[in-house]
Homo-oligomer: A and B are copies of this chain.
């Protein structure tokens, strides 16, 4: 028996469908996650500026911890000794952990983070330098202290096991857009061999949690299809779509489509590093169940709020001089404290002054926006009007207005 399947084949239940979209429940050892869902980043064991209890109060049922960053600091053994990542960060709900592959390879490929960022999403950013990429794994120099470190499939599985992750991701190579077909094909094949090593390690170590394989293959239809078939044919509990999804939003949709058509209906599907509003609306309609992305918290750090404005890519830069005298809230119908208690002028001032309170208020606002967006899409699947709701969002309707409750 595969210990990754200890919760049974019914770890994901689909409750409603609307076209290719699904509304479901992911069952984990730390509770359920209703889908479609956005997963806030707690890369460094904290969602920027918030206590874990506040993230739960916003309605989120899962956060993403980062294997690479937590390996570097404070170290997975330390977290394990302190009771695991849930206990360490005071978060009692499910945790999905990135495999570390993205960050390790970002150091080598350089451009991946920038490319994905340019296309509207990101899985966070790597630093340091890669010393060697080999079949065994990757040797690199830590961005703290500069000591040499190694990460391979077994390392990644061991770290995620020590963290006590509920949803473990396979160790993969995230190939950059500029890599070219030959490199991407070779790296995707190696990612498949690493998937087998991940599975073997998990079996030998009776590892817990659900296990997701990662589909790579860049922007080539045949490579994506083959990777999706290969990963779906493995002993996995779910699938994550990774790697470069292309240069623009149309290509993202195309690559996601090539991947999804090869996957069984029964498995939950996570789309890595994508979080723009229009991308989420499209991907939910295509059949993606969960998303993670640094954008809502990164925008907050830079003084930008998410708002129902498609013409501005759903972004409002509060540092703009035009906001300095505005007595309006960011969004009149938003229930977050930034909007109920404060004006744009105040947040403009705080952001310009570099005050932590600005980051915090905007993280609260942006995550409230993301949660409302997912709620309305999920309700849309349930009531069979996802397309209308999606169109309303894309036309600039507020997700709060559309929300059922």
Please list the residues of chain A having a beta carbon within 8 angstroms of any beta carbon in chain B: 44-53, 73-74, 78, 81-83, 88-90, 324-325, 327, 337, 341-343, 345-346, 349-350, 352-353, 355-357, 359-361
Q: Which of B46, B327, B341, B357 interacts with A357 by CB under 8 Å? A: B46
Q: Which of B73, B83, B325, B360 interacts with A82 by CB under 8 Å? A: B325
A341 / chain B contacts, CB cutoff of 8 Å? 51-53, 90
Q: With A82-B325, A327-B82 in contact, do A355 and B44 touch (Cβ < 8 Å)?
A: yes
Q: Which of B49, B52, B342 interacts with A49 by CB under 8 Å? A: B49
Would you list the 4 A-B pairs with minimal beta carbon distance, nearest first? A49-B356, A46-B357, A90-B341, A74-B349
B345 touches A88 (CB 8 A): yes
State the CA gap A9–B381 with chains docked (Å).
66
A327 / chain B contacts, CB cutoff of 8 Å? 82-83
Q: With A90-B341, A357-B51 in contact, do A352 and B73 touch (Cβ < 8 Å)?
A: yes
Shortest A198–chain B CB gap in Å is 27
Q: With A88-B345, A341-B51, A341-B53 in contact, do A78 and B325 touch (Cβ < 8 Å)?
A: yes
Which residue of chain B lies nearest to A358 when distances are taken between CB atoms in the complex?
B46
Shortest A60–chain B CB gap in Å is 16
A-B contact pairs, 10 of them (CB 8 A): A44-B355, A45-B349, A45-B350, A46-B355, A53-B337, A74-B349, A74-B352, A82-B327, A88-B343, A360-B360
- Since A78-B345, A90-B346 are in contact, a sample of 13 more A-B pairs with Cβ atoms closer than 8 Å, ordered by chain A residue number, is A45-B346, A48-B355, A48-B357, A49-B49, A51-B360, A53-B337, A53-B341, A74-B324, A74-B349, A78-B325, A90-B342, A356-B359, A356-B360
Which residue of chain B lies nearest to A327 when distances are taken between CB atoms in the complex?
B82
A337 / chain B contacts, CB cutoff of 8 Å? 51, 53
A73 / chain B contacts, CB cutoff of 8 Å? 349, 352-353
Shortest A186–chain B CB gap in Å is 35
A78 touches B44 (CB 8 A): no
State the CA gap A347–B38 with chains docked (Å).
27
State the CA gap A73–B354 with chains docked (Å).
12
Shortest A196–chain B CB gap in Å is 34
A88 / chain B contacts, CB cutoff of 8 Å? 343, 345-346
Q: Which of B78, B83, B345, B357 interacts with A50 by CB under 8 Å? A: B357
Which residue of chain B lies nearest to A341 when distances are taken between CB atoms in the complex?
B90
B352 touches A82 (CB 8 A): no
Shortest A159–chain B CB gap in Å is 16
State the CA gap A351–B89 with chains docked (Å).
13
A83 / chain B contacts, CB cutoff of 8 Å? 327
B81 touches A49 (CB 8 A): no
State the CA gap A355–B346 with chains docked (Å).
23
State the CA gap A360–B52 with chains docked (Å).
12
Shortest A80–chain B CB gap in Å is 11
State the CA gap A376–B352 with chains docked (Å).
39
State the CA gap A341–B87 with chains docked (Å).
9
Which residue of chain B lies nearest to A70 when distances are taken between CB atoms in the complex?
B349
Q: With A353-B73, A357-B50 in contact, do A325 and B89 touch (Cβ < 8 Å)?
A: no
State the CA gap A340–B324 with chains docked (Å).
38
Which residue of chain B lies nearest to A363 when distances are taken between CB atoms in the complex?
B356
A74 / chain B contacts, CB cutoff of 8 Å? 324, 345, 349, 352
